[in-house]
Amino acid sequence: MTTEIKSLVEGIATAFEEYKKTNDARIEAVKAGQSTADFEAKLARMDAVMDEAKAKQDALEAKLNRPGVLSGDKQDGEIKEAAEYRHAFTEWMRNPSDHDRQQKAANAQKQLEAKQKTMETRATQAVTSTGSAGGFALPEVIERAIARLGVDMSPIRGIATVRTVGSPDYKELFDVNGAAFEWVGETDTRAQTNTPDLAEVAPTFGMASAKPQASEESLDDLFFNVEDWLVSSAAEAMYAGEGTAFISGNGTKKPTGILAGPTPVTTADAARAFGTLQYIASGGASALPTSADVYLDMVYALRARYRANAQWLTNKLVIASLRKYKDTAGQYLWQPALTAGQPSTFLGYGITEAEDMPVVGAGNFPLAFGDFREGYLICDRVGTRITRDEITTPGFVKFYVRRRVGGKLRNTQAIKLLKVAAS
């Protein structure tokens, strides 16, 4: 598989060299007043080829980096009670009407909870009820696999700060003014410390849920991998929805997205209210700037402490445009990833693609730049719950999977936006 990744990386590099030649020819045609339709069509096809190759590369790398949590073997560090609960849980999924199976799952869950309390460690399961109460907590090994898939499907998870919390009342406090500083002599009087001005960041929570459905016949089939099926089905549904919420969620029964806070302003960090993002104007109406100047303004509007871990966040249509831009020396600003595991770069900073970012349009914010680990907070309530429904649709079994997720801007000095002019 490593060889396959290497081949994809080399293919992207070769395709980009051809892309540059085609774009250079397009630029010369523009200067000569000739039609560029053929060049534009070829560039679009090459965009698709490079995007597809990069997606394959990312998928292969994710698979390589993902431990085999769904194998039938006992995992390293998995305590006996957790393994027993996982086995009983899988049996319950297949046939909960069997009283012995249901009782096994309930007993295993109780034993696991007791073991965790005895060990006085963080619970590996969020055990809140038993089968008699209508459902079970997902075994930790399955829940962990769903979370890993979530990083692949919800790109903000891969770049933001993610915390696991036990209550929706979780808050973070920021000292807006910071500590006072002065130079003093050995016997000089020290000035009194100012009263701290604390700002509160409280993520808004919502219930993310999915309802994958399987036939009773497939569940009876011992060759049907019910764990793999549940992980892929539940993760795809839940994390696609949360990816949208992390960008534009309004905070009502869902996370508050990056672009859903107070209206961004042009005011610099020192004078801007905490919780409000700063934007850099595009300088043109309903279009991206083609000069590097505006993008450099975004980079250097960010404080040095945040630039060290900064990256771009945008959608694939904007990326397709960024690939065409050059600096004054004729060097392309966008460069493909030539090393496995590394992102493509624009002005030397990595790019994360998020399809939920706005398109280029009047008044929109299609491009963000910053340290998103510092700038955005995601909170997961401990535990994922599941309920089995074999009544509402005869012949099929529905599994109602649910988990609480919150999110909100954390430090608005760590993220800058590009705003396309309204007119």
- Three-state SS for the chain is CHHHHHHHHHHHHHHHHHHHHHHHHHHHHHHCCCCCHHHHHHHHHHHHHHHHHHHHHHHHHHHHHCCCCCCCCCCCCCCHHHHHHHHHHHHHHHCCCCHHHHHHHHHHHHHHHHHHHHHCCCCCCCCCCCHHHCCEECCHHHHHHHHHHHHHHCHHHHHCEEEEECCCCCCEEEECCCCCCCCCCCCCCCCCCCCCCEEEECCEEEEEEECCEEEHHHHHCCCCCHHHHHHHHHHHHHHHHHHHHHHHCECCCCCECCCCCCCCECCCHHHCCCCCCEEEEEEEECCCCCCHHHHHHHHHHCCHHHHCCCEEEECHHHHHHHCCCECCCCCECEECCCCCCCCCEECCEEEEECCCCCCCCCCCCCEEEECHHHHEEEEEECCCEEEEECCCCCCEEEEEEEEEEEEEECCHHHEEEEEEECC
Q: Is residue 244 a part of any domain in this protein? A: yes
Query: Residue 74: its pLDDT value, please?
Result: 44
| Average confidence (pLDDT) over 387-391 | 79
Query: Residue 98: its pLDDT value, please?
Result: 52
Q: Are 241 and 267 members of one domain? A: yes
Q: Are 228 and 241 members of one domain? A: yes
| Average confidence (pLDDT) over 201-226 | 80
pLDDT band at 116 (very low <50, low <70, confident <90, very high): very low
Given 137, 154, 184, the domain boundary residue is: 137
pLDDT band at 126 (very low <50, low <70, confident <90, very high): very low
Calculate the average pLDDT of the chain.
78
Tell me the pairing of strands 334-335 and 198-201.
unpaired
Residue with the larger pLDDT of the pair 16 and 177: 16
| Average confidence (pLDDT) over 203-207 | 91
Query: Residue 16: its pLDDT value, please?
Result: 87
The most confident of 56-60, 121-125, 277-281, by mean pLDDT = 277-281
Q: Is residue 26 a part of any domain in this protein? A: no
Q: Is residue 16 a part of any domain in this protein? A: no
Query: Residue 234: its pLDDT value, please?
Result: 76
Q: Are 303 and 412 members of one domain? A: yes
Residue 269 pLDDT greater than 60, yes or no: yes
| Average confidence (pLDDT) over 13-42 | 90
Q: Are 144 and 116 members of one domain? A: no
| Average confidence (pLDDT) over 76-88 | 55
Residue with the larger pLDDT of the pair 21 and 422: 21
| Average confidence (pLDDT) over 229-247 | 81
Domain span including residue 366: 138-176+192-315+354-423
Q: Are 145 and 198 members of one domain? A: yes
Q: Are 297 and 277 members of one domain? A: yes
Residue 135 pLDDT greater than 60, yes or no: no
| Average confidence (pLDDT) over 407-417 | 94
Query: Residue 102: its pLDDT value, please?
Result: 52
Are the beta carbons of 220 and 94 closer than 8 angstroms? yes
pLDDT band at 242 (very low <50, low <70, confident <90, very high): confident
Q: Are 267 and 153 members of one domain? A: yes
Q: What distance in Å separates the CA atoms of residue 4 and residue 6, rounded to the nearest whole number?
A: 5
Q: Are 278 and 297 members of one domain? A: yes
Give residue for tokens 């973070």. Answer: 172
Residue with the larger pLDDT of the pair 310 and 62: 310
Residue 91 pLDDT greater than 70, yes or no: no
pLDDT band at 307 (very low <50, low <70, confident <90, very high): very high
Q: Is residue 344 a part of any domain in this protein? A: no
Task: Report the percent of the chain where pLDDT is more than 70.
Answer: 74
| Average confidence (pLDDT) over 205-229 | 78
Query: Residue 79: its pLDDT value, please?
Result: 53
Measure Cα distances from 209 to 30, 70, 93, 166, 363 in Å: 51, 21, 18, 18, 33
| Average confidence (pLDDT) over 50-58 | 80
Q: Is residue 294 a part of any domain in this protein? A: yes
Query: Residue 103: its pLDDT value, please?
Result: 57
Query: Residue 71: its pLDDT value, please?
Result: 42
Q: Are 254 and 359 members of one domain? A: yes
Residue with the larger pLDDT of the pair 234 and 296: 296
Query: Residue 133: its pLDDT value, please?
Result: 41
Q: Is residue 66 a part of any domain in this protein? A: no
Q: What distance in Å separates the CA atoms of residue 271 and residue 76, rounded to the nearest whole number?
A: 52
Q: Are 169 and 295 members of one domain? A: yes
This prediction has a pTM of 0.76
Query: Residue 333: its pLDDT value, please?
Result: 93
| Average confidence (pLDDT) over 131-148 | 57
Number of structural domains (the chain) is 2
Residue with the larger pLDDT of the pair 354 and 153: 354
| Average confidence (pLDDT) over 239-265 | 91
Query: Residue 291: its pLDDT value, please?
Result: 85
Q: Are 302 and 224 members of one domain? A: yes
Query: Residue 393: its pLDDT value, please?
Result: 83
Q: Are 267 and 202 members of one domain? A: yes
- Residue 318's contacts (CB-CB under 8 Å, 6 or more residues apart) are 288, 357, 359, 360, 366, 367
Residue 63 pLDDT greater than 80, yes or no: no
Least confident window among 225-229, 259-263, 274-278, 330-334: 225-229
Task: Report the percent of the chain where pLDDT is more than 90.
Answer: 30
Q: Is residue 33 a part of any domain in this protein? A: no
Query: Residue 257: its pLDDT value, please?
Result: 95
Give residue for tokens 């790109």. Answer: 155
CATH label of the domain that carries residue 250: 3.30.2400.10
Query: Residue 125: its pLDDT value, please?
Result: 35
Q: Is residue 420 a part of any domain in this protein? A: yes
pLDDT band at 73 (very low <50, low <70, confident <90, very high): very low
Residue with the larger pLDDT of the pair 241 and 376: 376
Q: What distance in Å separates the CA atoms of residue 93 and residue 390, rounded to the nearest whole number?
A: 11
